[in-house]
Structure 1
Amino acid sequence: MTAPAADPPSWYAASAAPLAEQPALCGRIEADVCILGAGYTGLSAALELAQAGYRVAVLEARRVGWGASGRNGGQAIAGYGCGQATLENMLGRGAARALFDLSREGMDLLRARIARHRIACDWRDGHAHVPVRPRQARALRRDIVEMAQRYDYPLQWWDRPRLRAELDSERYLGAVYDPASGHLHPLEYARGLARAALAAGVRIFEHSPVRELVREPRPRLRTDGGEVAADFAVIAGNAWLRGIAPELESRIMPVGTYIAATAPLGQARARALIRNDMAVADVNWALDYFRLSRDHRLLFGGRASYSSLPPPNLRGVMRRRIRAVFPQLAQVPIDYLWGGYVDISLNRAPHWGRLTPKVYFAQGFSGHGVASTGLAGRLIAEAIRGQSQRLDLFAKIPHAPFPGGRIMRTPLLVLAMAWYKLRDALW
């Protein structure tokens, strides 16, 4: 299957069912809600609002799922990138519990949308966080107790022999297994959401980058070819915002992440690597994450770049990282190699709320966006419909801009990440 020319090359693009190209915006149109970004967040909000009877227009700079929604690792995990301890410290235990319960709703919503709209995105149950160092194993075991006692969320500790029964790697000291999390084909899911939104009456305009947000009294999103005037606007551009809302852009950092897809291994060899077909992620700061594809490849992600530049000799680096986990794959070639940006906030907590009374936003998913983006779309839709209590809980999370401004924030972050990588390597 040949991917449309506008899609970044990846195994996802090569294997996903095509989506009919949508027109570019031409002229001025009216809508009840206009949304910037046809990724998971924007499409989820559009779908919820259209089902409630709103006229919705979505503006996408390139194609549906072109950004992180169509390129990510596909791992859907309960919770948020910052962890519950950070939320407890910022908001207290009661609010942290409410936020975690909402993340569980996001997981349920993800499954429900896949089932309701018959999205063929290869959903698989099961996810494991795996420690490399003894201190990480101790911390994970404490987390299991806290999640059970404070959040009524059952997780399983697998010792090394139990893990080896499912994962054919000697690298890890055990695992926290979560049967309620899982993984999917990201681009298939994005396109499935788009099909559902189109069927509900949403108008999606591709190849229509937004150049200006006019905020009040009635928001307008302007492109080179026209503009949409609406009662409400939603900013869901995440790492790809460019000059639309500086106060949002200063509070996220685009971070490059990279994924390799090996040549097909064959069913028996692939399932020998991960017998229960779960997704796996280690808990290093610069983490590795991996899973199997439907055509029996290993999809292996890692080697994050905080400098906005691709790492040198990326293919060689990814081959070494794969060999460190699965030395038995040393001679297996890499067929696909791609990357993209995810958006991280300074505290790794989600940054959702209002820019003005009529302009909503969601960003800062910090590597946990597969499930939480759908929740963000639902909560923004609820707020537009007049029920904002649940979105307001996220708006209470404090967010500071990255230090250093636009010029210095990247070098400062690179230095900080170098320290965390050294810590991972030494203890």
Structure 2
Amino acid sequence: MKNHGFEASYYANTVNQTLSFPSLGSDMETDVCIIGGGYTGLSAALHLSQQGYRVILLEAHLIGSGASGRNGGQICQGHNMSHQAIAKRTNKTVADKLWQLSIDSVDLVKQLIKEHQIDCDFKTGVLHVAAKSSHINEIKEAVDYKNTILGYDKIHYLDRQSVAAKLGTEKFHAGEFYQDGGHLHPLNFALGLAKAAHNKGAKIFEHTKVLSYSAGENPSVKTAKGTVKANYLLFACNGYLGKLNQQAAKKIMPINNFIIATEPLADEVVNHINPDDLAVADSKFVINYFRLSADKRMLWGGGENYRSRFPKDIAAFVQKHMLSVYPELQSSKIDFSWGGTLAITLNRMPYFAHQEKNVFVAQGYSGHGVALATFAGKLISEAIAGTAERFDLFAEIPTANFPGGTLLRWPGLVAGMLYYSLRDRLS
């Protein structure tokens, strides 16, 4: 199968089903209106429909056409902020509950795949590796903390020799192996969620950009050809929010990340560089992440930019990172290269909020979106049904606005990112 209207990528080229939804053409009323057809919106639509709510989901382009259909496909327990840091900013009880929610988020992805028979090449095993020798102790301590303090025994420390045996390179110094983490085909997972939500009664509309909204007792959203009135409104736009919701936009910074896919690799190469078929991410601030596709291509993500445009030659932009680890792939043809826009927060934790009693926002997954965004949809369904405890846990960690708001956040962020990028390059 080919792109089916998606921007070109390996994922778009290997979609395993064709879904087509109409655009909104008239005024409608519903219980819940969801803006955004990525993991957050699709999961919310599915879980709310299962509870009997009338749901309308509006997507400006195609379902899964944003970062939900273009990302690295990795799911893993934990957050970008450590348990210790969360406990210091809040308390141990909140930190413990958020740790458990991270485990639950991964379990939910697996459950949904099984329950709805979503064919998305799911595989188990995630390995976080030390890119520098100075990161070894940090990884050792992180594994020990999770094993002993958190009582989680499904994470294991690997020394340099063990990492080399799993990845066929001496480039990395240690590893943190998550045996219950996993990886998948992100676009096929998104399409599987959409099909499940549709089958449960959610009304999905594509090519329906929301132009404006009004809050109040019965929120409404305006599109080019119709208005939707609802009892509840969910903003699930993440890096594609733009200026639609200014209050939420101040909490996030959209950034671009890039991926390449090689031609299928020979079995002897695969058996050398990743015999256990793991997903891998390194410890750099601007991380490299990689894994093998179902048809044995190297999928490598690396490099970011903070502009509105992608690099002219994404393949060259990313390939240099891959070759610094696996120079033997120099002769492997790059068949696909693409980018996507994600949203980060200042504290790198997701931003969940009730802007009003009936207006919800979930965004800013900062690279952990496959599991956490899917889980956010479930938590929003719980909150709308009257049990907001788990949703509100994420609000326990204050999320500051970017300095200067949406107008001036860019120069400051770029300066900071360039500083940390320079640190990545120093030994």
The TM-score with structure 1 as length reference comes to 0.97
Structure 1 counterpart of 2:201, which letter?
A: G
Aligned residue type for 1:363: Q
Contact (CA 8 Å) 1:88, 1:95: kept in 2 or not?
yes
Give the aligned partner of residue 352 of structure 2: 352
The answer to whether the 8 A contact 1:254-1:308 is kept is: no
1:127 corresponds in structure 2 to 126
Match of 2:144 in 1: 145
Q: How far did residue 312 of structure 1 move? A: 5.6
Query: Match of 2:127, SS?
Result: strand
Shift of 1:412: 1.0
**Aligned-residue offset at 1:169:** 1.5
Q: Distance in 1 between matches of 2:83 and 2:367?
A: 15
* Contact 1:80/1:350, CA 8 A, preserved across alignment: no
Letter in 2 for 1:168: G
- Say which is worse superposed, 408-417 or 252-261, in terms of deviation: 408-417
**1:114 aligned onto 2:147:** no
Aligned to 1:84: 83
- Tell me how far 1:313 sits from its aligned partner: 4.1
What is the identity, as a one-letter code, of the residue corresponding to 2:8? P
Q: Secondary structure at the match of 1:307?
A: coil
Please list, as runs of the form range in 1=range in 2, the aligned pairs for 1:358-373 lying within 5 A after superposition.
358-373=358-373
**Structure-2 residue corresponding to 1:160:** 160
Distance in 2, Cα, partners of 1:135 & 1:306 = 28
Deviation at residue 168 of structure 1 after TM alignment: 1.0
Kept in 2: contact 1:323–1:329 (CA 8 A): yes
Q: How big is the shift at 1:424? A: 2.1
Q: Deviations over 1:82-118 (max 9, x none)?
A: 3323322211222111001011111111100000100
Give 2:385's aligned residue: 385
1:296 correspondence with 2:300: no
Structure 2 Cα separation of the partners of residues 179 and 72 of structure 1: 21
Verify the 8 A CA contact 1:257 1:340 in the aligned structure 2: yes
**TM-fit CA distance, 1:395:** 1.8
Is residue 6 of structure 2 the alignment partner of residue 13 of structure 1? no
Alignment of 1:68-79 (within 5 A): 68-79=67-78
The two structures, once aligned, show a CA RMSD in angstroms of 1.2
Counterpart of 1:21, as a letter, is S
Give CA deviations for 1:134-180 in whole Å, capped at 9, x if unaligned: 22111111111111223222211111111122111121012110001
User: Using the alignment, how far apart are the partners of 1:242 and 1:207 within structure 2?
Assistant: 16
- Could you list the runs of 5+ residues in structure 2 that have no partner in the other structure? none
**Structure 2 match to 1:191:** 191
Map of 1:49 onto structure 2: 48
Does 2:66 match 1:67?
Answer: yes
What amino acid does structure 2 have at the position aligned with 1:388? Answer: A
Separation (CA, whole Å) in 2 of partners of 1:400 and 1:145: 31
> 324-333 or 87-96, which moves further after superposition?
87-96
Distance 1:83 1:342 in 2: 21
SS of the residue aligned with 1:147? helix
Aligned to 2:97: 98
Q: Which runs of 5+ in 1 are unaligned?
A: none
* Secondary structure, aligned partner of 1:145: helix
User: Match for residue 305 of structure 1?
Assistant: 305
Deviation at 1:314, TM superposition (A): 3.1
* 1:203-214 map, 5 Å: 203-214=203-214
Aligned ranges 1:232-243 → 2 under 5 Å: 232-243=232-243
User: Quick one: distance in 1 between partners of 2:149 and 2:184?
Assistant: 29
- Contact between 1:59 and 1:205, CA under 8 Å: does it hold in 2? yes
**C-alpha contact (below 8 Å) 2:284/2:424 kept by paired residues:** yes
Percent identity for Structure 1 against Structure 2: 39
- Partner Cα distance (2:372, 2:242) in 1: 23
What secondary structure sits across from 1:294 in the alignment?
A: coil
Partner of 2:406: 406
Greater mean alpha carbon deviation, residues 274-283 or residues 85-94: 85-94
Q: Secondary structure at the residue paired with 1:165?
A: helix
Q: Distance in 2 between matches of 1:353 and 1:413?
A: 23
Q: Return the alpha-carbon distance in structure 2 between the equivalents of residues 85 and 12 of structure 1.
A: 37
1:173 maps to what in 2?
173
Alignment-derived partner of residue 322 in structure 1 = 322
Deviation of residue 271 (structure 1)?
3.2
* Matched ranges for 1:213-252 at <5 A: 213-252=213-252
TM-score w.r.t. the length of structure 2 is 0.97
Q: Is the 8 A contact 1:80 1:365 kept in 2?
A: no
Tell me the alpha carbon deviations over residues 354-379 of structure 1, each in whole angstroms, 9 at most, x when there is no partner. Answer: 11101111001000011111211111
Farther-moved stretch of structure 1 (346-355 vs 406-415): 406-415
